[in-house]
């Protein structure tokens, strides 16, 4: 049996334009060109993508439509998916050009978008067709929004709802007086909201692009966040309640993708997590002018960096032991690294005064007391104390919950099992739909130009 020859690379990512992968190839009938999808969002649940074509003889690449999973139909059309709906446009496979306007074909088709599990988040649409025009598909949708509830939790695990309308919230940060909460939602649209805990009102803070990872600072009346407003993910600052005004660019993410973690208490440094394609995640900090410094970058994954209230220590996690553990190390370094957690840990945070560190391991939450010398330059680490456990949301690389000045935790309560099962059943239907004479239907809706 012949091997088929050596594989060769056909495309190369343009990371400066925000491309994160080329996927879902479809060979055109003459074997001289291939359709493929370019995924654009550098963050998890984004749905921005383009269907393009590549000539295998000349190497020419052309972008055709916004969408996913393009397929060529023998009627002379390009069929593709957008947000769980099939669309079509007339297409010439010889010149690799589209003609006329795109037309909706079929709604509510299962498409692998917006899933929390990244292995399912391909953008692929669950449909296929034969040369005779028989078409099969799964009737469903993109993965639906799994809404959670924002709650206060005290050290004994007692909950109190905050009052925010449930959404798929991802991170929360309370103001110093706990009267305002910055919220980011993972499920699109990714906007940042400010919730007033006194008046029980929510006000939108970002109006363009996809905003996420909002943290307070550097000023008491401002916040910092990550957004794809300029294409790739960059870091911006904005004043609270400034309406649809443009945010201020702090760091251009065209060469690397940074997740903002937390400002130092004096407002001088912003810690971040950087996605490194060669070695996982690294941690560092930005000065207020946007100058970047890597604090710890190894072949392991370092995450959740936060500077202590006295500005002399860095809290973070690394998996160098084989699992995530919480550590403390002098800032800006160098110095000895000491382990905080003893049996796994992630999502660490400082108490407001810096005398305790909190972290979680799966559904359990812990506290560790720290004892500093008079100058705050040496630290003795206590033993972990379990506080409570519960089914609360978590996030990757950046802490999801917050530690308020009132001594309570600001957290996301996951939905119950029945709600989760309903969403899963929507995304994973139990039967296949069949359409006969599908080509005739396409021709009637989208005449070949």
Element spanning 420, H or E? helix 417-427
Token pair of 154, please? 């005290």
Q: Coil, strand or helix: which one is 2?
A: coil
More confident residue, 291 or 3: 291
Q: Which residue has the tokens 């000023």?
A: 219
Confirm if 173 and 438 have CB atoms less than 8 A apart. no
- 347 vs 349: CA distance, rounded Å: 7
With CA atoms as reference, report the closest residue to 247 among 272, 228, 269.
228
The pLDDT of residue 84: 93
Which of 45-54, 293-302, 371-380, 401-410 shows the lowest per-residue confidence on average (mean pLDDT)? 45-54
The pLDDT of residue 272: 96
Helix segments in 36-86, DSSP class H? none
Cross-strand partners of 356: 369
Cross-strand partners of 91: 98
* pLDDT score of 255 more than 70: no
pLDDT digits (tens, 9 = 90+) for 20-56: 889 999 999 999 999 999 998 645 566 789 999 999 9
* pLDDT score of 63 more than 60: yes
pLDDT digits (tens, 9 = 90+) for 131-158: 999 999 999 889 899 999 999 999 999 9
Confirm if 137 and 71 have CB atoms less than 8 A apart. no
The pLDDT of residue 1: 41
The pLDDT of residue 359: 98
- 256 vs 277: CA distance, rounded Å: 10
* pLDDT score of 201 more than 60: yes
Q: Coil, strand or helix: which one is 422?
A: helix
- 91 vs 78: CA distance, rounded Å: 6
With CA atoms as reference, report the closest residue to 224 among 271, 188, 256.
271
More confident residue, 425 or 371: 371
Token pair of 417, please? 């099992």
Q: How many residues in total does the chain contain?
A: 449
Q: What is the mean pLDDT of residues 175-181?
A: 95
Percent of the chain, pLDDT > 70? Answer: 96
The pLDDT of residue 419: 85
The confidence band for 231, taking pLDDT boundaries of 50, 70 and 90, is low
- 217 vs 270: CA distance, rounded Å: 9
Using omega within 30 degrees of 0 as the cis cutoff, is the peptide bond preceding 133 cis?
no
Q: List Cβ neighbours of 137 (8 Å cut-off, separation of 6 or more).
A: 106, 109, 110, 125, 126, 127, 128, 432, 433, 435
- 355 vs 372: CA distance, rounded Å: 8
- 313 vs 216: CA distance, rounded Å: 20
Strands 68-73 and 61-66: unpaired
The pLDDT of residue 364: 97
Which of 5-19, 33-47, 244-258 shows the lowest per-residue confidence on average (mean pLDDT)? 33-47
Token pair of 320, please? 């160098």
Q: List Cβ neighbours of 215 (8 Å cut-off, separation of 6 or more).
A: 173, 182, 223, 224, 225, 260, 261, 262, 263, 270
More confident residue, 8 or 315: 315
Which of 12-16, 99-103, 243-247, 308-312 shows the lowest per-residue confidence on average (mean pLDDT)? 12-16
Confirm if 185 and 191 have CB atoms less than 8 A apart. yes
> What are the structural domains of the chain?
15-143+424-445 (2.120.10.30), 149-414 (2.120.10.30)
DSSP string covering 358-410, please? EEEETTEEEEEEEEE-TTS--EEE---EEEEE--B---SSS--SEE-TTS-EE
- 259 vs 262: CA distance, rounded Å: 10
Token pair of 324, please? 């995530």
Confirm if 161 and 151 have CB atoms less than 8 A apart. yes
With CA atoms as reference, report the closest residue to 188 among 102, 51, 82, 109.
82
- Cβ neighbours, 10 Å, residue 120: 14
The pLDDT of residue 3: 63
The pLDDT of residue 449: 54
Q: What is the pTM of this model?
A: 0.86
Q: List Cβ neighbours of 284 (8 Å cut-off, separation of 6 or more).
A: 271, 272, 274, 292, 293, 294, 295, 296, 297, 305
Q: Coil, strand or helix: which one is 159?
A: strand
**φ and ψ at 204, to 5 degrees?**
-70, 140
With CA atoms as reference, report the closest residue to 386 among 417, 351, 410, 362.
362
Angle value at C-alpha 167, between 166 and 171, nearest 5 degrees: 110
């Amino acid at each position: 049996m012949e091997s088929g020859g050596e594989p060769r690379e056909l495309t190369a990512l343009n990371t400066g334009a925000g491309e994160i992968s080329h996927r879902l190839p479809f060979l055109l009938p003459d074997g001289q060109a291939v359709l493929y999808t370019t995924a654009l969002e550098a963050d998890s649940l984004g749905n921005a993508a383009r269907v393009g074509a590549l000539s295998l003889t000349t190497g020419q690449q052309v972008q055709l439509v916004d969408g996913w999973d393009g397929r060529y139909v023998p009627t002379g059309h390009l069929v593709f998916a957008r947000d769980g709906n099939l669309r079509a446009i007339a297409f010439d496979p010889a010149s690799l050009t589209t003609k006329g306007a795109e037309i909706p074909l079929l709604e509510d088709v299962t498409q692998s978008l917006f899933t929390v599990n990244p292995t399912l988040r391909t953008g692929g649409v669950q449909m296929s067709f034969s040369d005779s025009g028989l078409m099969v598909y799964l009737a469903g949708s993109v993965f639906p929004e799994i809404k959670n509830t924002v709650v206060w939790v005290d050290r004994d695990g007692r909950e109190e709802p905050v009052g925010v309308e449930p959404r798929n919230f991802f991170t929360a940060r309370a103001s110093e007086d706990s009267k305002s909460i910055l919220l980011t939602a993972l499920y699109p649209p990714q906007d940042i909201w400010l919730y007033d805990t006194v008046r029980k009102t929510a006000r939108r803070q970002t109006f363009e692009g996809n905003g996420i990872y909002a943290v307070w600072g550097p000023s008491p009346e401002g916040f910092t966040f990550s957004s794809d407003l300029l294409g790739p993910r960059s870091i911006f600052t904005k004043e609270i309640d400034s309406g649809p005004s443009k945010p201020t660019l702090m760091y251009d993410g065209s060469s690397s993708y940074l997740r903002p973690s937390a400002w130092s208490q004096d407002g001088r440094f912003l810690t971040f997590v950087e996605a490194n394609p060669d070695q996982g995640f690294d941690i560092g900090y930005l000065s207020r002018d946007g100058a970047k410094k890597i604090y710890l970058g190894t072949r392991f994954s370092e995450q959740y960096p936060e500077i202590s209230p006295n500005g002399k220590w860095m809290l973070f996690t690394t998996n160098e032991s084989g699992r995530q553990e919480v550590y403390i190390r002098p800032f800006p370094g160098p110095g000895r690294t000491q382990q905080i957690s003893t049996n796994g840990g992630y999502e660490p945070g400082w108490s407001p005064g810096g005398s305790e560190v909190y972290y979680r391991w799966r559904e359990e939450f812990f506290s560790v007391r720290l004892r500093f010398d008079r100058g705050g330059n040496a630290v003795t680490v206590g033993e972990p104390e379990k506080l409570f456990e519960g089914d609360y949301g978590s996030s990757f690389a950046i802490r999801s919950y917050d530690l308020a000045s009132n001594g309570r935790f600001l957290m996301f309560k996951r939905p119950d099992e029945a709600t989760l099962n309903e969403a899963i059943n929507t995304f994973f239907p139990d039967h296949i739909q069949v359409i006969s004479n599908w080509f005739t239907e396409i021709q009637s809706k989208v005449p070949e130009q």
